[in-house]
Amino acid sequence: MELHTLTAHELSRKLRAREISALELTEAVLAHIERVEPAIQAYITPTPELAREQAKQAQARIDQGDPSPLLGIPVALKDNMCTEGVKTTCGSQILHNFVPPYNATVYRKLQEAGAVLVGKTNLDEFAMGSSTENSGFFTSRNPHDTERVPGGSSGGSTAAVAAHETILALGSDTGGSIRQPASFCGVVGMKPTYGRVSRYGLVAYASSLDQIGPITKDVRDCALLMNAISGEDPNDSTCVQLPVPDFTDALVDDVKGMRLGVPKEFFAQGVQPEVVTSVRSAIDKLAAAGAEVMEVSLPTAEYGLPIYYILAPAEASSNLARYDGTRYGLREGFEEGHIRMMEKTRAKGFGNEVLQRVMIGTYALSAGYYDAFYLKAQQARTLLRRDFERAFEQCDALVCPTSPTPAFKIGELADDPLAMKLADVLTIPVNLAGLPGISVPCAPVNGLPVGLQIIAKPFDEATALRVAYAWEQMQG
């Protein structure tokens, strides 16, 4: 079997047994990137020379008997995570030449674990989108059908994992941007609890919603990557000071006695019947394996989309105000004065989706509208969180579809922004409530991947991983 197709835990065993070297593995992945990247377009900035140097360093540690499970394993980072000396564009022309002077905490932790960075992946500009069609550079493609989108905004990372252009990847999830593309590309994607993983060095879109998480080929790799990136960080005040369990301990092939809730609102109108059939079949198999399945209700979930599209743009309006041509990135019209410089820089540097969301957010925060929109959305967010709390009084985890449909064709929803936003309707409530959620593949629909979403209580990623692992073992 070719090295680039194996999982991280399989490769780690081979590395420690000296069956392969870290440089040999890295060269295999880089060669595969060169072969398939023209068709997939997952990467904005490949980093082959850096990868080779890091692979040599990893091999030296392996030779000294270092048992770290990610030593020498190729990884890709979504291009909104800062990497010292390597461009970080956020998929935007306004940062087309930005090279950060520091590393994001997650990248620093991966370096300490001995992982090998093979590149920075494509995304919807500033993580605003569901297809990577909003990237300021190009659209990534779904490896299962290159005429279709990989999802978004972490579409580059999920396409890279699905196409074996990396072994592991990190994405960010603000409203479903890890789980939805994981569903579309048939890989595993996890959004941790808000505060479980440091956001230091993640270029902000919506600070109360953004969370970094793993994208992997299987659930065990997901647990290994969660082990590496989780934990407190003095550089991030929102990162909690809680002990990090060994998430691989949760990988028990047994759901007997577990109580799984099925939120009826997540199977409502808009979810494709074939997707419902696929997910219901998975739930039935979990029940047959001994899980107790019950229907639960999340009445406020139907308002998740409007709540999100007030709060997230409002936070984006504040976060993106820093891009004015003064300090870094693109600068246009400097000779015409400061105000004109800001206008020209933003007009040229931001794409239409970013401009639209910033304007919506600015409007929602403006005098006379703050109470009517932003404050009400925050109040509704509290009600939604309470709905989840009541549901978790009855069950250990919730199971439902990740996305209402499989991957759609590139350009298919270009003129239908509402349909595009509905791609995240089943993932957004999880972000609003700050909960952990994971997407794992279930039975495909018309040859296209479909995701089963498992949602757990705050800081109970272990339960979500346990259910995901048990389901994965049933799949063989």
Q: Could you give the CA distance from residue 428 to residue 308 in angstroms, rounded to a whole number? A: 7
In tens, the pLDDT along 245-297 reads 999 999 999 999 999 999 999 998 789 999 999 999 999 999 999 999 999 99
What's the pLDDT score for residue 418?
Answer: 87
* Structure letter (DSSP) for residue 373: I
Decide if 177 is catalytic: yes
What's the pLDDT score for residue 367?
Answer: 87
What's the pLDDT score for residue 429?
Answer: 98
Decide if 92 is catalytic: no
Decide if 318 is catalytic: no
- Taking the domain 1-476, which CATH number applies? 3.90.1300.10
What's the pLDDT score for residue 449?
Answer: 98
What's the pLDDT score for residue 50?
Answer: 98
- For 127, 175, 195, 313, 352, the CA distances from 365, given in Å and listed in that order, are 21, 20, 25, 10, 20
How many CB atoms are closer than 10 A to CB 294?
Answer: 13
- Give me the residues of the chain with pLDDT under 50, please: none
Of the residues 21, 177, 278, 317, only one is catalytic, namely 177
**Three-state SS for 290?**
coil
Q: Could you give the CA distance from residue 93 to residue 330 in angstroms, rounded to a whole number? A: 7
Backbone angles phi, psi at 20, to 5 degrees: -140, 165
Of the residues 21, 78, 198, 317, only one is catalytic, namely 78
Domain boundaries, the chain: 1-476
Of the residues 92, 153, 317, 403, only one is catalytic, namely 153
What's the pLDDT score for residue 122?
Answer: 98
What's the pLDDT score for residue 327?
Answer: 87
